[in-house]
Amino acid sequence: MKTYMWYICGCLWFIPLPSDALFTTHMTSAQKDVVTRMAAKRGRKGCLVCCVVNIIRFVHLISKGLFRHLKQRGNRVMIWCVNTKEDLREIHNQFGDQLDGIMTDNPIVLKSYVDDVSY
Q: Mean per-residue pLDDT for 44-49? A: 81
In a domain, 53, yes or no: yes
In a domain, 15, yes or no: no
In a domain, 5, yes or no: no
Check residue 10 and give its pLDDT: 84
Contact in structure between 79 and 25 (CB atoms under 8 Å): yes
Sign of CA dihedral 110, 117, 33, 24: positive
In a domain, 78, yes or no: yes
C-alpha–C-alpha distance, residues 84 and 44, integer Å: 31
Q: Which domain does 80 fall in, by range? A: 26-117
In a domain, 90, yes or no: yes
Check residue 119 and give its pLDDT: 57
Percentage of the residues of the chain whose pLDDT score is greater than 70: 97
Check residue 6 and give its pLDDT: 81
Contact in structure between 75 and 17 (CB atoms under 8 Å): yes
In a domain, 37, yes or no: yes
In a domain, 8, yes or no: no
C-alpha–C-alpha distance, residues 75 and 73, integer Å: 6
Q: What's the whole-number average pLDDT of the chain?
A: 84
Q: Mean per-residue pLDDT for 39-47? A: 81
- In tens, the pLDDT along 76-115 reads 999 988 889 999 998 888 888 889 998 999 999 999 998 9
Q: Kindly report the CA angle at 87 between 8 and 81, in degrees rounded to 5?
A: 70
Q: Mean per-residue pLDDT for 67-81? A: 89
What is the count of structural domains for the chain?
A: 1
In a domain, 42, yes or no: yes
pLDDT of residue 15 exceeding 90, the answer is no
